[in-house]
Each structure stands twice: as structure tokens, then as C-alpha cells.
């Protein structure tokens, strides 16, 4: 009788895990840096907080992992509370620092509560990987069909964005496009994957590729391949380089092998990573070489130049959201460009935020590899630091032993 009750309890817990995990994914895609987050950011954060509170009160969900989640939540909130106060002290009158603190606090408290249940944590991140794989499948279907027919015949409708005028075209079956790239033999959409920009989507794909457990079944193998296809569909310059780095680190550090095998794997994988990085730099279609004369390149260059100049003049920073006073329109285009705003103290607390996220993970090595694409993306190309969905990723706890391919979790 006791065994029956335990089994029933576990089944109920698993069902609640899937339900809450699904609801959390829906809420996350209403927050920044997703496509819908530009309109519904605060709503998404409120929903994440509400879902987290519901998880707390469900008796069949064990909440044993507050020791993982609470420090990360506090670190997220502390960082943005400091940046808001720092901005206020520097005379910035914009309401956005306070708005950001509220968003991050709601998201972090909600995620900290929800992911205190390992079942919810594992369900959420597993479902997120599957969703990204489905978006990869959509892009693959769009690509194959666009070879035989005009891309215009696959157009469904436009989903307008409040910040980007020429984006949001949806192509069959559900490929949301940033723009179109003409490769001569085919015109193909740069997939947004329902994020604000392809350069953001690639970081989520790199995370998913890095955290996919053992690839030993047709389903797991197809999912893994579709994740790589999804990353390629973003046609993001930095994404190709990060894919090589992610695969190399995953293979070298997370797969159990002999010393000789590790050396051989390191040489082979680092060579592959170098080739992908070379492609990302030199390719004239999607590499940095293709951006040397477009707005994306000049925005980053101007932002970085202005940010560094302001940082050198004001090492302690002049406050976030202060572009109208001193730095220029691109001061927040990445972390380097933000240096003039956040200064040395802001950079220090940002590093502490990453450190806490890694230290309080179950598998620190796996966690570092998992969030490294976001760190590199934030530093070099995208302003994701104040995005609630990015903060959610920092809660990924990397359960399991040192071999990622033998994860002992509810996944």
C-alpha cells in the first residue's frame, strides 16, 4: 500500500512539474529579450512570480533546493538594485532603473520559488530544449521548401514589433524572420526563434546544445541535431563561433575518457572550434566580414568606442540609462559599451552575479559551460543583462555528476 502511495505521489509531482514548467515557459516568452517581451515584459515577470508562489503551496512538489536558488535570486536583485541606486546618485532621472529592479525582483523571486522544486526545474529546462528543437525543425522545413518555391509563397503574416520596423514576418510553418538573406540558390529567413534578435537566439541554442544529456537514442539524437539546425538558422555571426567553443568544451570537459582520448579530443575539437570561429570572422554572407559596412557593425563600434571613452573619463560610471546625457545612443548595446554607465563597481557586481550563479550550481563545470554563451554574448554583442529570461537561465542548476552524459536527474 505504501508503495502505491509513493508511486501516486511521484506521478502527481511529475504532472505538476510539467504543468508548471510549461506555464513558466509561456511566461518567459512574454519577457525580454523575447520578441513579445518588448510589449509584455512586466506582465511576464508578474506571471513568473505568480507561478512561483503557486509552486510553493503545492504539497506534492518537494521544495528541497532553496539553497541553490535563493543565493542566485539575491545576487540578481542585488546587482540591479545597486545599479539603480548608482544611477540615481549620478543624477539620472529616468524611471527605467527602478522599472528594471522591479522586473528582475519579480522574476528572481518567482524563479527562486519555482526552481526550489527540482521537478519543476528539470521539466522547465527540458521543455525549453524541446521547444528550441521544434523551432529548429520549423526552420529546416522552411529552408527545404524555399529551395523549390519562392520564399514569398511561404509567407503567412506579420507580427509587428514596437521597436523593430522591418521584422516579424512569419513563414510556414512557424519561422519568425528578422530579415531575408539571399544566398544565390535560395532566399532564406534569418530566424528570430521568437527572440528580439538572432544574436540572442543563438545564445539560447548554445545553452541547449551544451546541456543536452546523453545522446543515445533516435529521439535524443534528432533533438540534438535540430538544436544545431536551429542555431544555424539564426545565421548569427557570433553563434557559429560560440557553437564551436560550446562543442569543444562539452567534449573536452564533460565526457569521461582516458587521458589519451582527452588529448586527441581536445586537439580535434579545438581545431573544429577554430574553423567555426574562422568562418564566423571571414564568411562574406554571415560572418563579421559581411557586417563591416552595415548599421549593426557601426552601432556596436560607436557604442563601444563611446563606452570605453566615458569609462576612462569616469571609472566609477555615470549611471545606467544615461545615454541622453553623455554616452550616445548605443551605450547599452553590450557590456563593453555599458562600461561608461556602470563603471568598475557595476562590472564587479556583474562578475559576482556570474560567480554566484556558478558556485551554487550542483555541477559547477557544467554550469560554467552552459552559461558561457550568454556571458560572451552579453560582453560582445547583445544587451541582455536586464532581461528577465536571461536571469532565468542563471538559475539552471546543472544537476548530475561530473559526466554530463550520465546525468542523474528527473530529465
Q: Given a cut of 80, is residue 242 above it in pLDDT?
A: yes
41-45's contacts with Cβ under 8 Å and 24+ in sequence apart are: 41/103, 41/388, 42/99, 42/102, 42/103, 44/388, 45/102, 45/103, 45/104, 45/106, 45/107, 45/110, 45/388
Alpha carbon separation from 288 to 30, 182, 235, 236 (Å, rounded): 31, 17, 11, 10
Please state which of the ranges 221-230, 252-261, 402-411 shows the lowest mean pLDDT. Answer: 402-411
Please state which of the ranges 12-21, 149-158, 317-326, 374-383 shows the lowest mean pLDDT. Answer: 317-326
For the stretch 95-107, pLDDT in tens is 899 999 999 999 9
Alpha carbon separation from 169 to 157, 160, 378 (Å, rounded): 6, 8, 26
Which are the contacts of 239, defined by CB distance < 8 A and separation ≥ 6? Answer: 198, 199, 201, 202, 203, 205, 206, 231, 232, 280
Please state which of the ranges 71-75, 144-148, 294-298, 365-369 shows the lowest mean pLDDT. Answer: 294-298
For the stretch 133-150, pLDDT in tens is 999 999 999 999 999 899
Q: 95 with 372: CB under 8 angstroms?
A: no
Q: Given a cut of 60, is residue 328 above it in pLDDT?
A: no
Q: pTM to 2 decimals?
A: 0.89
Q: Strand locations in 145-281, DSSP E? A: 155-158, 169-171, 175-182, 187-191
Q: For position 271, what pLDDT does the model report?
A: 64
Q: What does pLDDT average to over the chain?
A: 84
Dihedral sign of CA atoms 110, 115, 120, 123 in order:
positive
Amino acid at each position: 500500500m505504501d508503495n502505491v502511495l509513493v508511486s501516486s505521489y511521484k506521478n502527481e509531482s511529475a504532472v505538476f512539474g510539467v504543468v508548471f514548467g510549461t506555464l513558466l515557459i509561456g511566461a518567459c516568452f512574454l519577457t525580454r529579450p523575447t520578441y513579445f517581451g518588448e510589449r509584455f515584459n512586466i506582465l511576464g515577470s508578474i506571471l513568473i512570480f505568480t507561478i512561483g508562489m503557486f509552486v510553493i503551496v503545492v504539497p506534492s512538489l518537494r521544495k528541497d533546493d532553496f539553497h541553490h536558488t535563493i543565493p542566485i535570486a539575491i545576487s540578481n536583485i542585488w546587482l540591479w538594485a545597486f545599479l539603480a541606486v548608482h544611477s540615481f546618485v549620478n543624477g539620472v532621472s529616468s524611471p527605467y532603473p527602478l522599472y528594471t529592479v522591479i522586473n528582475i525582483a519579480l522574476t528572481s523571486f518567482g524563479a527562486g520559488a519555482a526552481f526550489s522544486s527540482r521537478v519543476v526545474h528539470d521539466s522547465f529546462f527540458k521543455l525549453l530544449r524541446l521547444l528550441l528543437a521544434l523551432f529548429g525543425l520549423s526552420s529546416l522545413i522552411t529552408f527545404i521548401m524555399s529551395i523549390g518555391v519562392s520564399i514569398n509563397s511561404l509567407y503567412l503574416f506579420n507580427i509587428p514589433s514596437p521597436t523593430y520596423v522591418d521584422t516579424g514576418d512569419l513563414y510556414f510553418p512557424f519561422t519568425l524572420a528578422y530579415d531575408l538573406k539571399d544566398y544565390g540558390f535560395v532566399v532564406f529567413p534569418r530566424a528570430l526563434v521568437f527572440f528580439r534578435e538572432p544574436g540572442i537566439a543563438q545564445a539560447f541554442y548554445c545553452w541547449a546544445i551544451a546541456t543536452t544529456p546523453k545522446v543515445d537514442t533516435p529521439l535524443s539524437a534528432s533533438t540534438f541535431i535540430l538544436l544545431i539546425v536551429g542555431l544555424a538558422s539564426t545565421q548569427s555571426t557570433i553563434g557559429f563561433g560560440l557553437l564551436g567553443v560550446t562543442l569543444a568544451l562539452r567534449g573536452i570537459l564533460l565526457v569521461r575518457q582516458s587521458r589519451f582520448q582527452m588529448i586527441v579530443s581536445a586537439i580535434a575539437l579545438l581545431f573544429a572550434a577554430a574553423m567555426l570561429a574562422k568562418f564566423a570572422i571571414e564568411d562574406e554572407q554571415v560572418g563579421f566580414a559581411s557586417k563591416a559596412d552595415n548599421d549593426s557593425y557601426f552601432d556596436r563600434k560607436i557604442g563601444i568606442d563611446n563606452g570605453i571613452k566615458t569609462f576612462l573619463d569616469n571609472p566609477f560610471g555615470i549611471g545606467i540609462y544615461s545615454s541622453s546625457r553623455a554616452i550616445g545612443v548605443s551605450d547599452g548595446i553590450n557590456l563593453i559599451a555599458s562600461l561608461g554607465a556602470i563603471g568598475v563597481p557595476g562590472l564587479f557586481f556583474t562578475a559576482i552575479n556570474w560567480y554566484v550563479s556558478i558556485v551554487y550550481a550542483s555541477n559547477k563545470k557544467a554550469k560554467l559551460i552552459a552559461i558561457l554563451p550568454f556571458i560572451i554574448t552579453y560582453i560582445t554583442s547583445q544587451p541582455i543583462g536586464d532581461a528577465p529570461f536571461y536571469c532565468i537561465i542563471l538559475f539552471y542548476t546543472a544537476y548530475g555528476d561530473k559526466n554530463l552524459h550520465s546525468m542523474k536527474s528527473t530529465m
